[in-house]
């Protein structure tokens, strides 16, 4: 499995909070990618996202800055890595939180794709949230993968 390309400050050894989830999705990477970059529609199928605001269009793009709310926190995120059908990553910033969220897609066979999503977080709010609700991020990221799988199996957005 391909690995996440972590910037130095977000590498696992340098962060206080880290989560990793993966799922084999019975769909082609192109279909999964189409749903993943269609951020404007995340709130329709991923209940932990809301108020997604892109500067233009419906899809994420290289270097794009966007705003959204997740885990009750309004973040400003910037796309830091963008390799169509393979990998995407963004950072996110708000008071007390500094995150890096990455996705890696790897075709494993006809109509099957292994999807890895990992996130690292720094900041007092990240540490507090992890202390109070230690498995919440992992549970929601697994839900994100499961809902992504459902959407991808239904075809293109």
Mean pLDDT computed over every residue of the chain: 95
Over its C-alpha atoms, the chain yields an Rg (Å, rounded) of 15
Residues 8 and 11: their CA atoms lie apart, in Å, by: 5
Q: Which CATH class is domain 8-153?
A: alpha beta
- Rounded Cα distance, 51 and 123, in Å: 23
Structure tokens at 81: 């890595």
CA distance 91 to 60: 13
Q: What is the pLDDT along the chain (157 residues), one digit of tens a residue?
A: 779 999 999 999 999 899 999 999 999 999 999 999 999 999 999 999 999 999 998 999 999 999 999 999 999 999 999 999 999 999 999 999 999 999 999 999 999 999 999 999 999 888 888 787 779 999 999 999 999 999 999 999 9
> Domains of the chain: which residue ranges?
8-153
At 31-55, the pLDDT tens digits run 999 999 999 999 999 999 999 999 9
Residue 2's pLDDT is 79
CB 90 within 8 A of CB 5: no
Condensed to tens digits (0 to 9), the pLDDT of residues 61-82 reads 999 999 999 999 999 999 999 9
């Amino acid at each position: 499995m391909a690995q996440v390309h972590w910037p130095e400050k977000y590498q696992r050894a340098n962060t206080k909070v880290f989560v990793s989830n993966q799922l084999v999705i019975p769909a082609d990477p192109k279909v999964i990618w189409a749903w993943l970059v269609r951020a404007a529609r995340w709130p329709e199928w991923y209940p932990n996202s809301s108020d997604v605001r892109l500067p233009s269009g419906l899809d994420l793009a290289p270097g794009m800055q966007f705003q959204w709310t997740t885990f009750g926190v309004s973040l400003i995120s910037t796309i830091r890595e963008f390799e169509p059908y393979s990998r995407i990553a963004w950072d996110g910033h708000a008071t007390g939180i500094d995150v890096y969220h990455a996705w890696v897609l790897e075709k494993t066979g006809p109509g099957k794709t292994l999807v890895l999503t990992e996130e690292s977080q720094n900041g007092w709010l990240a540490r507090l949230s992890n202390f109070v609700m230690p498995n919440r991020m992992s549970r929601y990221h697994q839900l994100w993968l499961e809902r992504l799988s459902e959407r991808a199996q239904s075809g293109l957005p």
